[in-house]
Amino acid sequence: MIKALVIAPYQGMVELLREVSQEVQGFDIHVELGNLQTGVEIATRAERQGIDVIISRGGTASMIQSAVHIPVIDIQVSGYDVLRILTLVKSFSGKAAIVGFPNISQGAATICKLLDFDIETVTIHHDQDVTEKLLALKEENVEVVIGDVVTVEHAKKLGMTGVLITSGREALISAFDEAKRVYKVFQSLSKDVALYRSILEFDERAIAIINQQGELVYRNKAFNDRIGENVTPLNEMKEVVHRTIASHHAQDALLFIEGELWNVTSRLDGENVLLYLEHYTPALGDNLQRYEQAIDVHQSLPPIVLSGKSVAIDTVHELVKEHAEHSESIWISGEPGVGKQVIAQKIYLLSKRQPFVIIRGKQMSNELFRALVSQAFLAQYKDAVVFLKDIDHLDLEVQRNFYEYIRSQKNRGSTKWIVSTNGDIEDQIKKDLFLEELYRELGTICINVPPLRNRSEDIEHLVQFFISDSYATFGNEVVGVRKDALDLLVSYEWPGNVRQLKKVTEQLMAQCRGYYIEKEDVESALRSQHSYIQKDFGHHIKIDGTLEEIEKEIISKVLEEENFNQSKAAKRLGINRSTLWRKLK
């Protein structure tokens, strides 16, 4: 027997159910009177008491569906129900309107059109909307309101005639038939869920499921035992969840939880993200926070496109394709923002190696480097592509230790090293700021990426690429850029290079309301750009604004340096993520 609770929004349905319950088989039927929030309270209590399925109507059914985890059947308002009431109302002399939730208003509107009834139809989505809608109808001299319980009650309070659309016998019987079908499917799915849950519970990996709102939907026994309800790692996991949803690709990251390093692998499954956590290496003691900032490990990356049609970019393309699959190291140089990391990622994708390890030179201290080497962190990636970003930011002592480490590795030829620099490395060598031996060791193949101002022919291609790449984020109807607007973009100096152009294009996409980006849009966007100093784009801060403007620019700079990783930027600034974005508004 299926234990069914019918939550009737009006007394007449209770009476009719007493008759109908004699005609349906296979149900243990309970009936309670309740509407909207009262109905929700009854339903949640009934779920705890073991009810199998709940049957209700309209807005009450919709609210219950959001509050319980068992099947909820909505008693559909049938054509017979609407016709019955419309026939009744035809004899009324006053002007009439139908007001109700979509399950009532949509069908009623169709019937009115088919039968050529001059009755206005108004849809409500929340019971809070009812009074406002009814007052507007009253101003239009509507005297008769046809609708659900909540609509009729409000109409009467306003001195209008309220006519309730009731559910007939056939609608109730149909609801029980649907309840029987849905319950059978629900039972089958519940058995499958129980089986899969059992498998997950015995898995040695810590497994969690987080929804798109960042809420923890499920965690297995291993997760509870090893991680528990600690809020900090959950916040870090949300960043992985955000990247997974944004990219629609699996993500890999390293997280520190309770002093231990975990490898986190994510998978997008419908509206939820599955996270698999496994112990990675022993804890690094006092170096935990800096280690997290210094290294990322990716088992996979989405496809990368190197956009542009200039001779310079064609040369970069050729060098990447020619040397990606070989083991020799590659040295990428160029101003900040030209896309050195994008090129490194492209090399990784063509190399057929695993994984892709990013080491950030700006966060790599000698103490931290020794910790990594002593625990064989680098040695375990003998088949990896290792990208040492901003190698020119390593101090000399770290450079010497790094050089000795590379020389000492017998299998170093199987690890593909990619390094990047912003400035003139030869000049730094002359000034004894960089170790020449390290440059000769790693600079086997050199790729120089010229600044955007020296390859303006790439700008149109890049802008179109950024526009197409932004559709998923902004969802507008922009299809291109006007010629005079494009001319402005091409003539701009772009001290921040491709990174700055991407940022401006995204700003234009966010602000544009038409099909084309206009000249006025570009003028406004370029006026909002800060004055950049080309030699030191990554560090220059404009200080001739207000304190709030200076603070906002500092936050923007830290975000750029952290590759727009919100958690890492907030950690560096000593604030939480919500404070960070509040200050950027």
- The DSSP-derived string for 516-561 is EE-HHHHHHHHHTS----GGGTTT----SS-HHHHHHHHHHHHHHH
Average pLDDT over residues 53-60: 91
**Residue 40: inside a domain:** yes
Q: Is it the case that residue 173 has pLDDT exceeding 90?
A: yes
The three-state (H, E, C) secondary structure of 98-158, written as one string: EEECHHHHHHHHHHHHHCCCCCEEEECCCHHHHHHHHHHHHHCCEEEEEECHHHHHHHHHC
DSSP 458: G
Comparing CA positions, the residue from 62, 138, 61 lying closest to residue 94 is 138
CA–CA dist 505, 494 (Å, integer): 12
| pLDDT averaged over every residue in the chain | 83
Domain boundary among 155, 187, 219: 187
> Which CATH number belongs to the domain containing residue 98 in this structure?
3.40.50.10660
For CA atoms 294, 243, 489, 551, the dihedral sign is: negative
Residue 366's Cβ-count burial label (10 Å; 0-12, 13-18, 19+) is middle
The reply to whether 54 and 176 lie within a common domain is: yes
DSSP 10: S
- The tally of CA atoms less than 13 A away on the side-chain side of residue 581 is 6
Edge-to-edge strand list for the sheet holding 142-147: 120-123, 95-100, 142-147, 161-164
pLDDT tens for each residue of 425-458: 998 999 888 999 999 999 989 999 999 999 999 9
For CA atoms 33, 38, 43, 49, the dihedral sign is: negative
pLDDT tens for each residue of 269-322: 888 899 888 875 444 444 445 566 678 888 888 877 778 889 999 999 999 999
Q: Which residue has 């309209």 as its token pair?
A: 58
Can you read off the two tokens belonging to residue 512?
């544009």
Q: State the residue range of the domain holding 265.
A: 203-280
> 95 φ, ψ to 5°?
-70, 135
CA–CA dist 201, 203 (Å, integer): 6
Classified as helix, coil or strand, 297 is strand
**Residue 296: inside a domain:** no
Buried b (16+ CB within 10 A) or exposed e, 509-530: beebeeeebebebbeebeeeeb
Using 50, 70 and 90 to split pLDDT, how confident is the model at 472?
low
Domain boundary among 280, 303, 337: 280
**Residue 580: inside a domain:** yes
> Which CATH number belongs to the domain containing residue 359 in this structure?
3.40.50.300
Average pLDDT over residues 478-482: 87
> Which CATH number belongs to the domain containing residue 13 in this structure?
3.40.50.2300
Using 50, 70 and 90 to split pLDDT, how confident is the model at 564?
low
Domain boundary among 394, 417, 450: 450
> Which CATH number belongs to the domain containing residue 554 in this structure?
1.10.10.60
Helix (H) or strand (E) holding 489: helix 483-491
Cβ 220 vs Cβ 206: under 8 Å: yes
pLDDT tens for each residue of 72-106: 999 988 888 888 888 888 777 788 999 988 877 87
The reply to whether 177 and 69 lie within a common domain is: yes
Can you read off the two tokens belonging to residue 34?
């309740």
Q: Provide the number of structural domains found in the chain.
A: 6
The reply to whether 504 and 491 lie within a common domain is: yes
Structure confidence at residue 535 (pLDDT): 37
**Residue 305: inside a domain:** no
**Residue 285: inside a domain:** no
The reply to whether 423 and 332 lie within a common domain is: yes
CB atoms under 10 Å from CB of 204, counted, come to 10
- The tally of CA atoms less than 13 A away on the side-chain side of residue 266 is 31
CA–CA dist 546, 67 (Å, integer): 48
Structure confidence at residue 142 (pLDDT): 92
Q: Which residues contact 213 (CB under 8 A, 6 or more apart)?
A: none
Q: What percent of the chain has pLDDT over 90?
A: 36
pLDDT tens for each residue of 315-337: 999 999 999 999 899 999 999 99
Edge-to-edge strand list for the sheet holding 2-8: 27-33, 2-8, 53-56, 72-74
The reply to whether 457 and 399 lie within a common domain is: no
The reply to whether 435 and 393 lie within a common domain is: yes
Q: Which residues contact 326 (CB under 8 A, 6 or more apart)?
A: 416
Q: In whole angstroms, what separates CA 494 from the centre of its chain?
A: 30
> Which CATH number belongs to the domain containing residue 504 in this structure?
1.10.8.60
Average pLDDT over residues 385-392: 93
> Which CATH number belongs to the domain containing residue 224 in this structure?
3.30.450.20
> 333 φ, ψ to 5°?
-125, 155
The reply to whether 376 and 317 lie within a common domain is: yes
Average pLDDT over residues 145-170: 89
Query: At what angle are helices 547-561 and 566-573 packed, to 10 degrees?
Result: 130
**Residue 198: inside a domain:** no
- First-to-last C-alpha distance (Å) of the chain: 57
Backbone torsion region of residue 26, taken as left when φ is above 0, otherwise alpha when ψ lies between -120 and 50, otherwise beta = left
The reply to whether 159 and 177 lie within a common domain is: no
The reply to whether 232 and 325 lie within a common domain is: no
**Residue 292: inside a domain:** no
The reply to whether 399 and 327 lie within a common domain is: yes
The reply to whether 174 and 261 lie within a common domain is: no
The reply to whether 97 and 245 lie within a common domain is: no
**Residue 408: inside a domain:** yes
